[in-house]
Amino acid sequence: MTDHPGLAEGGICAWDEARNRAASFRRELEPVVATPEESVGSVLADPLLALADIPAYDTSLSDGWAIAGPGPWRIRSASRRDLFAGLDYHESTTHQLLRDGQATPVTSGEALGSGVTGVIAENRCLVEGDLLKARDQDSVRARIEPGTGVRPRGSDAAYGSELLPAGDRVTPAVAALAATAGHDHISIIPMPIVGLIRIGNEVLQSGIPRSGMTRDAVSPALPGWIAGIGGRCQPARWVTEGDGQLIEVIDDIISDVVITAGPASGGAVRRVLQGMKADILVDGVACKPGGSMLLAQLQDGRPLIHCGEIPADAVAALLTLLAPIIAALTGRPDPIRRSRMADTVFGDRQRTTLVPVRHVGDRGQDAQIISPGGPGGLFALSRADGIAVIPPGGIRRNEPAAVLPMS
């Protein structure tokens, strides 16, 4: 099989080919309806439209005074309902709530009631008793045209206009925009559910390392890393009783993707997949770290990814295999980007090298290598915002390189 396109020496996949095979999962998840706050992390299934003008009312651009007509103005105190239209905006617009020659305090962003002809910032006014005067009455009055200091209704977006296209990820700011636009619910492609299976009892799940055993460093990190690339990780299921239990757990997990991890567990996973008649698409990748990663398709159609026990191996598997699978499931483009390398990297002659980088420079376009350090390269990973893909033979400074974003 060494002459198969995309296979490196020894029959394992070249890195690009492994990623292409992962991207071949073209089944998209069905849209669901959720509240804006429930939708964060998911993908818009339909364009986000404005269900009302944004802003829905004329609002003040600054803290100051709402005025009616020319000054000086007599200060009027009244309830918010009288001066600011609130939910009764449409019914109150024909009623003169603020009369010529009157003024009332207003804060930035507050809705303005009928009769308001402008807003003066507080630093441009003087209060003398119950009168409000401009500091420089003649020049200020000349500049107070109708609408001065007012953010008009619909100035950001008109009713029915498209705010965001389908396929955009729902961030907290997008959820806020959806609420501002009048949405109680939006149609989304949900975050794919990732079922995590930890295999073996060679690592500790809690406490201080002891008796020659180390702490499990992969399980605490995977949910966050998976969320960063658009998935939702279930709590880890532990398998310690052999192949039969592993088969049972794989069948029992309700998820869109299955991930297995554990020290020296690759052989057990391969045995189980063979017994389950799964189709192994990637059995090793010509890269470091993460060369032992595996991708299979279960009989029910779900992809299964096996990653190593070291955090750097797990990150390599997630960004190489899981990221394109999640993009395919949600209909999003591949998140890979191009950045200019700030350093020369002498890569392996035959394998792709995946190295942690952080973006620097005025425009954040330069990818700077972070020196490995700490257990399993965790010090470097903790400071990285992406993983640079260094092709066999290396890459020169200032040359463009593919970078896999970590969030």
pTM, 2 dp: 0.78
CATH 3.40.980.10 occupies which residues in the chain?
15-29+191-330
CA 386, CA 407: separation in Å to the nearest integer? 8
Strands in 298-342 per DSSP E: 303-307, 337-341
Q: What is the pLDDT of residues 150-182, one digit of tens each?
A: 988 899 999 999 999 999 999 999 999 999 999
Q: What is the pLDDT of residues 196-238, one digit of tens each?
A: 998 877 776 777 877 777 777 787 888 999 998 999 999 989 8
Q: Is pLDDT at 17 greater than 90 in this prediction?
A: yes
For residues 376 and 217, is the Cβ–Cβ distance under 8 A? Answer: yes
- Whole-angstrom distance between the N-terminal and C-terminal Cα of the chain? 36
CA 316, CA 337: separation in Å to the nearest integer? 16
CATH 3.90.105.10 fits 32-53+157-189, yes or no: yes
pLDDT of residue 11: 55
Q: What is the pLDDT of residues 289-318, one digit of tens each?
A: 999 999 999 999 999 999 877 888 999 999
CATH 2.40.340.10 occupies which residues in the chain?
337-405
Q: Is pLDDT at 70 greater than 60 in this prediction?
A: yes
Question: CATH fold of 59-151, please?
Answer: Molybdopterin biosynthesis moeA protein; domain 3 (2.170.190)
Q: Is pLDDT at 135 greater than 60 in this prediction?
A: yes
Q: What is the pLDDT of residues 101-120, one digit of tens each?
A: 888 888 888 888 778 888 98
Task: Specify the CATH number of the domain 15-29+191-330.
Answer: 3.40.980.10
Q: Tokens 């001065």 — which residue?
A: 148
Strands in 293-385 per DSSP E: 294-297, 303-307, 337-341, 352-360, 366-369
CATH 3.90.105.10 occupies which residues in the chain?
32-53+157-189
Cα dihedral across residues 253, 257, 262, 268: positive or negative: positive
pLDDT of residue 77: 67
- Exposure string of 41-79, with b = 16+ CB inside 10 Å and e = fewer, is bbbbbeebbbebbbbbbbbbebebbbbbbebbbebbeee
CA 397, CA 392: separation in Å to the nearest integer? 15
Q: Taking each helix axis from N to C terminus, what angle separates 323-330 and 15-23, rounded to the nearest 10 degrees? A: 30
Tell how many helices (H) and how many strands (E) occur in the chain.
11, 28
CATH 2.170.190.11 occupies which residues in the chain?
59-151
Task: Report, as an integer, the average pLDDT of 242-270.
Answer: 90
Q: Is pLDDT at 28 greater than 70 in this prediction?
A: yes
HSE toward the beta carbon, residue 188, CA cutoff 13 A: 26
Query: CA 382 → CA 168, 294, 341, distances in Å?
Result: 27, 25, 20
CA 180, CA 177: separation in Å to the nearest integer? 5
Strands in 58-192 per DSSP E: 59-60, 64-67, 73-75, 102-106, 118-121, 125-128, 131-134, 150-151, 162-164, 186-189
CA 266, CA 282: separation in Å to the nearest integer? 13
CA 379, CA 124: separation in Å to the nearest integer? 53
Task: Report, as an integer, the average pLDDT of 20-45.
Answer: 92
Task: Report, as an integer, the average pLDDT of 52-68.
Answer: 89
Task: Specify the CATH number of the domain 337-405.
Answer: 2.40.340.10
